[in-house]
Amino acid sequence: MSTTRATPGRATPGRAPRRRLTPGRIARNTTLVVISLIWALPTWLLLVNALVPAADYGGTPHWWPQGFGLFDNMSQAWTKADLGPSMGNSLLYAVTSAAAAIVVATTAAFATVIMPVRHKALWFWLIYSGTLLPLQVFLRPLFLAYADTGLYDAQFGLFLVYVAIAIPFAYFIMRNFALTLAPEIIEAARIDGASWWRVFWQIHVPLSRSAMVAAFVFQFVSVWNDLLFGITLSTSKNIRPVMAALAELQGNYSNVGPPVVLGGALLVSLPTVVLFFSAQRFFVSSLKLHG
């Protein structure tokens, strides 16, 4: 019976080799931990102060839990801000506008990467330039145009805005994904006589499914969290998105305390958290495919 002795510095068969801790690796890990803690600090404060009963809040933020009034705070926020209809509006805007933007972005990425079009770089910058300007520059012209055309305080008007602002970044994601696809697959399909329309629907879309889901999640969260256009282009309760309704809790005529506002903020963030964890497997599959 023979025994195998591990040689120092060599990996034992069947066992993953140990990574040595170098100064660079330690510095990198320390930096990542510090950045994670900085990112988690606002979330911690949100959770802790949302737990405080509104009647016990003294005006000073708490760093550690003081009682448990979360459900009561959420209930007050839901009632006083009338979050039900506004959450339905945001769900409608986020789903439809994100889906429409993904369809347009996927089609544009296929046309500017896969198809033999001229001036591909020009088309990229023409579409992607929509993300280069701050959204505030569009408020005045949009408000005036919407007031003149009857789109102000209308669901279709907000839908158009959200689709327009979602397309550039979605196109950026889909274009970068299309660049990683093997061109031999498209060439083989074209040689077999497949039309561009058939190549798009039967080859490009199935291969791009994980990227489409990732882009949809990003745009859904972006539209769901929008406050700027919600308070500028809508006033009615049956039109305004949820962030505009939640903002009224902090208005001049609101008499609720910060725990109620934080409880409402925590409540309206739940759909995005659920969506992210539901789509997590698509992110993982995308990483495995291109890892």
Q: What is the pLDDT of residue 282?
A: 67
Mean pLDDT score, 124-152: 86
Taking the C-alpha atoms of residue 239 and residue 218, their distance in angstroms, rounded to an integer, is 23
- The residue with greater pLDDT, 93 or 30, is 93
241 in Cβ contact with 81 (< 8 Å): no
80 in Cβ contact with 260 (< 8 Å): yes
Q: What is the pLDDT of residue 13?
A: 54
CB atoms within 10 A of CB 169: 18
262 in Cβ contact with 65 (< 8 Å): no
Is residue 108 scored above 50 in pLDDT?
yes
- The residue with greater pLDDT, 13 or 115, is 115
Q: What is the pLDDT of residue 91?
A: 94
Q: Residue 65: what residue type?
A: P
Burial (0-12, 13-18, 19+ Cβ within 10 Å), 247: middle
Mean model confidence pLDDT for the chain = 82
Q: Where are the domains of the chain?
A: 24-68, 77-290
Taking the C-alpha atoms of residue 109 and residue 112, their distance in angstroms, rounded to an integer, is 5
Q: What is the pLDDT of residue 103?
A: 94
Give the pLDDT band (50/70/90) at residue 72: confident
Q: Residue 230: what residue type?
A: G
> pLDDT (tens digit, 9 = 90+) per residue, 233-245?
988 888 999 998 8
83 in Cβ contact with 264 (< 8 Å): yes
> pLDDT (tens digit, 9 = 90+) per residue, 185-222?
888 888 888 888 888 898 888 988 888 998 999 999 99
Burial (0-12, 13-18, 19+ Cβ within 10 Å), 111: middle
- The residue with greater pLDDT, 44 or 162, is 162
The correct answer on CATH 1.10.3720.10 for the domain covering 77-290 is yes
